[in-house]
Amino acid sequence: MPGAREHLERLAAAPRPAGSPAERDAREWCRQTLAACGFAVAAEPFAYSALPGRWATPALGMVGIVAVCAAARLAWAGRAGAAAIVLAAVGACAATGGAWLARVAVTRLPWGRMDGINLVATRGHDPSPALWLVAHLDSKSQPVPILVRAAGITGLLLVWLVSLAVAAAQAALGGSPAVWPWLAALAVVAGLPVMASVVGAQSPGALDDASGASTVLRAAELAAPDIPLGIVLTSAEELGLAGARAWVRSRRRPPASAINVDGVDDAGPITLTYTGRRPAALLAALAGADGHEPIRVSRLFPGILADAVALTDGGWRAVTVSKGTWRTVARIHTPNDNLAALKGEGVESVARWLAHVVAHAHAVET
């Protein structure tokens, strides 16, 4: 039976852009591993648009900078009311457009179409198990690490909110426009790393997400073979969560529970993140399993996406499991996300814990 390190070496041998030969080779390794564990494995093709995943984040950065700078110019000229209207309108359009791009355009937009393949495996008599383990196989690089991108998105949002409040106050109460050059400068500083978040193929993706896929494979090897379990290894997660969104859209059975594994380092605590309504029952099952390290629970940080977001949007109860520190996040989406900085000890420990989780969740349900 392969160990965690062998899985990592197979999956993180080279960058794995969605649809690449390297991703295909990684998927074949996963297929062989899961079949050897007694899973029924199927490749499920899907089509998607790569445009939202490639360009939505840079466009968000550009729109944010332009909106705040335009509002600053209007307010400096004594038109604070117009500045507030511009900021409110741009914010509403960005929120609506962003939701449409994420939830609809990535699977339905007719431009930039690409083909992908999700690997879906089940074990047990039920073809639709109540619990699924999820990870993604593709990788990407960006000129800035995900930590800087997330900080930029958060900073740009804060600058926009402050600018809207200042514009509204200036329109209602008057006051000096001296703060506006500073707000415009802050928008540029926060927005530039967001604009720079273009998709490349220079990262082997050892953490993101060879570690998650390796953890899922090891958990499948370690879990009791008589417990029903589903596994989904998605493609194009790095292009707008396209694989997960397509898979959820294709499912005709009621939503279930999913544990997405994304980013498992050797050091640091286990962290469970979620979006939407708090999945209390799933979190309780995770916390109640034996053999775990200290666990932190929090909402997903703005500017970071994971397949669990797409599953939650589709009505599933989903959490993302990760392990690491801020140094871990600083490596993601860079060429430094390689096996030189990852031994696989965290993968092994998290996989053993997940095997306990699967057994505990099954015992609770039965």
The whole-number average pLDDT for the span 275-294 is 80
Using CA atoms, how far residue 6 sits from 104, 120, 227, in Å, is 38, 21, 25
Per-residue pLDDT, 290: 61
Per-residue pLDDT, 294: 73
pTM comes to 0.92
Can you give 89-154 as a three-state secondary structure string?
A: HHHHHHHHHHHHHHHHHHHHCCCCEEEEEEEEEEECCCCCCCEEEEEECCCCECCCCHHHHHHHHH
Per-residue pLDDT, 230: 95
Per-residue pLDDT, 293: 65
Dump pLDDT digits (tens) for 88-143: 999 999 999 988 988 899 999 999 999 999 999 999 776 778 899 999 999 999 99
Please state, as a whole number, how many other Cβ atoms lie within 10 Å of the Cβ of residue 284: 13
Q: Any idea which fold 4-50+112-142+201-365 has?
A: Aminopeptidase (3.40.630)
The whole-number average pLDDT for the span 8-25 is 96
pLDDT band at 208 (very low <50, low <70, confident <90, very high): very high
Contact 323, 212 (CB under 8 A): no
The whole-number average pLDDT for the span 59-64 is 94
Dump pLDDT digits (tens) for 229-281: 999 999 999 999 999 999 999 887 788 999 999 999 999 999 999 999 999 98
Please state, as a whole number, how many other Cβ atoms lie within 10 Å of the Cβ of residue 287: 13
The whole-number average pLDDT for the span 282-291 is 76
Contact 17, 11 (CB under 8 A): no
Query: In 18-52, which positions are buried (b, 16+ CB within 10 angstroms) versus exposed (e)?
Result: bbbebbebbbebbbebbeebebebeebebebbbbb
